[in-house]
A = this chain, B = another copy of it.
Amino acid sequence: MSLGVWLVGGRGSVAVTSIVGAFALRAGLAPPTGCVTELPEFRSSGLAGFGDLVFGGHDPSPIPLTKKAEQLGDAGVVPAALVRALHDDLAAADAEIRPVPDGPDQAITAARLVADLVDFRQRHALDRVVVINVSSTEPAPEPHPAHDTIDALEDALRTGATILPPSALYAYAAFTAGCPFVDFTPSAGARLPALAELARRQGLPHAGHDGKTGETLLKSVLAPMFAHRHLQVRTWSGMNLLGGGDGATLTDPGANAAKSASKQRVLAETLGYQPQGVVRIDYVEDLGDFKTAWDLISFNGFLGTGMRLEFTWHGCDSALAAPLILDLARLTGAAHAAGHTGPLTELAFFFKDPLGDGPHGLADQWQTLTAFAAALGAGPQA
C-alpha cells in the first residue's frame, strides 16, 4: 500500500526533518523515537510502512532539500551524519517539490495545484495522497461571504477574485484532487465552512489544527491535573521565545494573535473557566530551531492557600513536529482507506486547536486515538 505525502512547505524545517526521518527509519538508521504510531497500540491498525511513503510538496524556496537538510544538521536538529548518509534519497525527493504557482487568478492557481497533485499520484501509482500543511502561519483571514458555502466560493473564484488565504487554497486544491488534507498550522486551511462542505461532498477526511508540540502539550496534561485535584488555577501566563522560520512569521501581529488564541483554548476547555494571564510569543532569531517556553501558573489550594508552578520547556520544534507529520500521514491515509469522511475528530491528540467538541485533556485524547486506531485495524467502516 503506497501512500503519497504531499507537504505544503516541503522545503521548510518541519518537512525536511520529516523526510530525513522517514528515510532514516526506512533504512533502519534511527529508532522511531517520537513516532506515536510506532507504539504497540498501533501495531494492528494496518498503517502504511515507512518504506511505503512517497514524498512530494509545494514550496516557493529554491533551496534544495539536500542543502536545507545540511543546515538542519549543522544546527543540531538532525544528525549531520544521517544527512550525509541519505544524500541521494534526499536529492531524489527534492525532485518532487514543485514551485508555488503564481498569478492573480486563484481559480487558475488552484487548477495548477490540482494538476501537480494528480500528476504526482499517477506517476507514482499511489493509492492515495495525503496533503499536509506545514507552511508558515498566516494571519487570520478577513471574513467573507464566499467562505460560507462551496457554491458561493466557486462562484467567487470564477470571477477571478483573490478570496482565499493560501492555506485554504491548498485545502481547496487537495479536496478537488481527491486528497485528504491535514492542517498542522493555525492557519485557516480547511476551517472555512465552504471547504468543510467540499470535503464531505468529495467523501474525504480532514484533520487539524495546529500541531501540539510544546507548551500546549504540557497544558493538556497539567490543566486536567489541576481540575481533577479540584485546585483553583488563578493565573496562567506563558512566554514563548523562538527563532526558527515560524518565529519570524509570528512577528506579524495577526499571525501571533492566531497562534496565541490557539494556545489558550485548552485551559478554558479543561478547567471550565479561563484563568487570568496571556501567552506571549517573541521571535529571537539567535535561538534558531530551538524554542524555550516558560509558564507561570499560580493556584489556590485548600482554604485559599496560594501556590505556584513554573516550567521551562526547551524543545526543538522541528524534531517534535516531524514524527507527528508521519503519524498524521499514516493515520489519515488509513482513515481514507477505511472510508472515513469529514473531520477526523479522533486525531485531537495531535492538535492544539482540535476539530470537534471532544476533550482537550491529553489522556482522554489518547484513549480516543487508540480506540480509533484499533477500529482502523478491524477493517473498513460500515
Contact = CB atoms under 8 A, between A and B. Distances in A.
B362 A225 contact: yes
Interface in A287-304: 287, 292, 294, 296, 298, 300-304
Interface in A329-372: 349, 361-364, 366
Interface string A210-239: 000000011001101100111110110101
Contact of A305 (B241, B285, B316): B316
Interface stretch (A72-80, A115-123, A137-145): A72-80
Contact of A228 (B17, B32, B310, B366): B366
A320 B301 contact: yes
Contact of A21 (B229, B284, B302): B302
Contacts of A228: 36, 39, 349, 362-363, 366
B302 A17 contact: yes
A interface secondary structure, majority: mixed
A179 to B, nearest CB: 25
A30 interface: yes
Contacts of A322: 302
Contact of A298 (B234, B235, B287): B287
A242 B161 CA distance: 48
A68 to B, nearest CB: 15
Contact of A239 (B235, B280, B309): B280
Q: How big is the A interface, by class? A: 35 or more
A236 B141 CA distance: 33
Count of identical protomers in the assembly: 4
Contact of A229 (B30, B36, B237): B36
B229 A217 contact: yes
A307 interface: yes
A253 interface: no
Nearest to A366: B228
B314 A229 contact: no
B314 A309 contact: yes
6 contacts: A30-B303, A33-B232, A224-B366, A239-B294, A303-B319, A307-B320
Interface of A: 17, 20-21, 24, 30, 32-36, 38-39, 76-79, 82, 217-218, 221-222, 224-225, 228-232, 234-235, 237, 239, 241, 276-278, 280, 282, 284-287, 292, 294, 296, 298, 300-305, 307-316, 319-320, 322-323, 349, 361-364, 366
A-B pairs with lowest CB-CB distance, top 9: A363-B363, A305-B319, A34-B302, A239-B239, A311-B311, A301-B319, A221-B221, A302-B323, A308-B314
Given A301-B315, A301-B316, 20 more contacts: A20-B303, A33-B302, A34-B301, A36-B229, A78-B305, A225-B362, A235-B286, A239-B280, A241-B277, A241-B296, A276-B285, A276-B286, A277-B282, A287-B298, A302-B320, A307-B315, A308-B313, A308-B314, A310-B314, A363-B366
